[in-house]
Amino acid sequence: MMAWSSKELFVLIGAMLIVSPLSLFSYYGNLLPYLDSYYKARWDQISIPVDTLWPASVFRCTFTLSMIFTSPLELRFGIRRCVVAGLILLWASILSCYIAVTEPLALVVIFGGTHGTAVGLLYSTTLKLLLQSLPQKAGLASGFMASGPVLGALVNMGVAFAVINPSNEKPDLFVDNKVFFTDSAIVERVPNYFLVMGAIVAGSTLMGTILAFIGSASLVSPADSEPVGEHAPQNNQSNEKTGEVQDLRTETNGKQASKVFDAEISQPEAICEKMKIHGDVQEYNSISSLKNGDHSLNGRGEIKSSLEDRGGSTKLVVQAELSPWEALGTGKFWCIWLCYFCTSHTTFLHMNLYKQYGQLAISDDSMLVATGIVSMAGTILVRPCVGLLSDKIGIRKSTLVVSLLSCVFMSLMVIALRRSPWGYVVLVVIEFLSVSPQTMVFSLLTAFELGKIHCASNIGLVTSGNFIIMFLEPFLASTMVSKVGWDWLFLTGSLTAAVSMMVIMAVDFVWRN
């Protein structure tokens, strides 16, 4: 076991607390029925009706865009200032929803847009602060930090239920294929949730920031954490004396990009290392062999990995190092892009609508809340297991397995809902475990199939389909629910997972041709 100093533990715990409330996508499905009931009761007072799925969609898009622009802001103002700015924006975006929730459009802009911007700024800067503080334990520390948002989602689900529906009242109004709460007490308590949750978030993230800043003060050199401009004149003057004037900003960008890239590649390896420490892994060389450059060029200029057949399972043996522009010109890239696009639909439906769908046959709100909590807790255990599976059978086959399970269990959810409510609950948990590793699996798949040199940029291109799917989902979901019903909507999720599975199987054929 690696020894951890008190300062390192401060940084690690602080980082986990900072990122704990950042996963709106994980808990919004639990909150959605309460919001729908709130707006249904206040329909005559709403100026501009907006579907309640829009906050989740806008959040996902602004979160992605915010991460893209965080790097230049961090280089200009420094990590700590960006963390503080992100925290203030996060607190304001949640607490102000106590008032903004009265108008759906305001909720979309603030809880979706502003909140997403704050999360994108906070997550990337907190990760970088963690990597700078713990360079020798970057992968393992990043793995622990990644559990923060999941733990935060568990707390969020419990708080929403305790504040809004503490008496476990049943939804009792069925309108347009949806079930609503009509109890006036439940409706009136919806704004209180944002006030209570905002206070909890402010307290936990403030404590996390204090711990992270205290711990990192002696672990991170000032040159790493302060804005680039504050050190530029001195360094440039030194370089001029030796005749080697360089652009400090370019040099710093390169170093930081290298650190971020190493962190992205090392996270799956860290999961495997963590499991190995506890005696759960015997072989986990596939990811580390690629990360460490254990490969050779073949005659076509492609990179042949050192992964070979072991125990009868064929690993991924060919990988190309492609720049983003080169990747766009290959059929393999578009296969991966289409797979991610399809599974994004499946994931969006399940994460956001499992509770509303379940209310058609299950009136016990606490049962559905507990289902979400158990599901999120299970994802903490499953994600490392998916990493181990990719090491054992290869990332392509692992992606195939994830798509297959998502397809099968979403279909079974539709069958089980009205026949066995308990069966539906179990299937919801299993489906959560199937769809939750989506981003991790496709990040690994992109790195293995398109190369590690431009891994970060290629992952960004692969996930660009999110922008399309996030803006289509609110229209698609509301239209299908009102026209053909919930069953057909969820069957489309099963269908897209099946399409993803078939496209994965075609990757080899497309690459050869």
Q: Where are the domains of the chain?
A: 1-229+247-282, 300-513
So what's the pLDDT on residue 456?
Answer: 64
Instruction: Provide the pLDDT confidence category of residue 386 given band limits of 50, 70 and 90.
Output: confident
So what's the pLDDT on residue 495?
Answer: 95
281-300 residues labelled b (16+ CB within 10 A) or e (exposed): beebbbbbbbbeeebeeeee
pLDDT above 80 (res 290): no
Instruction: Provide the pLDDT confidence category of residue 349 given band limits of 50, 70 and 90.
Output: very high
Strand partners, 296: 304
Query: 38, 164 in Cβ contact below 8 A?
Result: no
Mean pLDDT of the region 247-264: 40
Q: What is the CATH number of domain 1-229+247-282?
A: 1.20.1250.20
Identify the weakest region by mean pLDDT among 48-62, 229-243, 361-375. Answer: 229-243
In sign, the C-alpha dihedral spanning 105, 109, 113, 119 is negative
So what's the pLDDT on residue 282?
Answer: 32
Count of C-beta atoms within a 10 Å radius of residue 418: 11
Q: What is the pLDDT of residues 474-510, one digit of tens each?
A: 999 989 998 898 999 999 999 999 999 998 888 766 6
Instruction: Provide the pLDDT confidence category of residue 236 given band limits of 50, 70 and 90.
Output: very low
Instruction: Provide the pLDDT confidence category of residue 404 given band limits of 50, 70 and 90.
Output: very high
| Mean pLDDT for all residues in the chain | 78
Give dist(CA 404, CA 416) in Å, integer: 18
The alpha-carbon radius of gyration of the chain (Å, integer) is 24
Give dist(CA 485, CA 418) in Å, integer: 14
Give dist(CA 169, CA 372) in Å, integer: 18
Identify the weakest region by mean pLDDT among 33-37, 132-136, 285-289, 429-433. Answer: 285-289
pLDDT above 90 (res 357): yes
Give dist(CA 474, CA 353) in Å, integer: 11
Q: Choose among 70, 60, 87, 88: nearest CA to 125.
A: 70
Query: 360, 247 in Cβ contact below 8 A?
Result: no
Mean pLDDT of the region 157-161: 94
So what's the pLDDT on residue 9?
Answer: 87
Instruction: Provide the pLDDT confidence category of residue 301 given band limits of 50, 70 and 90.
Output: very low
Identify the weakest region by mean pLDDT among 4-18, 251-265, 315-329, 469-483. Answer: 251-265
Position 334, amino acid? W
So what's the pLDDT on residue 353?
Answer: 93
Give dist(CA 200, CA 224) in Å, integer: 31
Comparing 255 with 167, the larger pLDDT belongs to 167
Query: 316, 448 in Cβ contact below 8 A?
Result: yes
What predicted TM-score, i.e. pTM, was given to this entire model?
0.75
So what's the pLDDT on residue 493?
Answer: 94
pLDDT above 50 (res 246): no
Comparing 501 with 3, the larger pLDDT belongs to 501
Identify the weakest region by mean pLDDT among 299-308, 344-353, 474-483. Answer: 299-308
Query: 297, 282 in Cβ contact below 8 A?
Result: no
Give dist(CA 57, CA 251) in Å, integer: 37
- Do 1-229+247-282 and 300-513 fold alike per CATH? yes
- Which of 1.20.1250.20, 1.10.287.130, 3.40.50.300, 3.40.50.970 is the CATH number of 300-513? 1.20.1250.20
Give CA separation, 99 vs 18, 21, 107, in Å. 25, 20, 9
So what's the pLDDT on residue 208?
Answer: 92
Identify the weakest region by mean pLDDT among 224-238, 270-284, 387-401, 487-501. Answer: 270-284
Strand partners, 175: 178
Q: Choose among 125, 138, 133: nearest CA to 19.
A: 125
Query: 115, 92 in Cβ contact below 8 A?
Result: no
Q: What is the pLDDT of residues 166-180, one digit of tens each?
A: 999 898 888 878 889
Identify the weakest region by mean pLDDT among 13-22, 153-162, 204-213, 285-294. Answer: 285-294
Q: Are strands 295-297 and 303-305 parallel, antiparallel or unpaired?
A: antiparallel
Q: What is the pLDDT of residues 304-343, one digit of tens each?
A: 443 433 443 444 444 567 777 887 888 888 888 999 999 9
What DSSP state is assigned to residue 112? I
Comparing 500 with 437, the larger pLDDT belongs to 500
At 297 the three-state DSSP class reads strand
So what's the pLDDT on residue 257?
Answer: 39
Instruction: Provide the pLDDT confidence category of residue 411 given band limits of 50, 70 and 90.
Output: very high
The pair of structure tokens assigned to 79 is 């990590």
Residue 322, Ramachandran bin (φ over 0: left; ψ between -120 and 50: alpha; else beta): beta
Residues 61, 67, 70: CA angle, nearest 5 degrees? 140
Residues 27, 497, 346: CA angle, nearest 5 degrees? 20
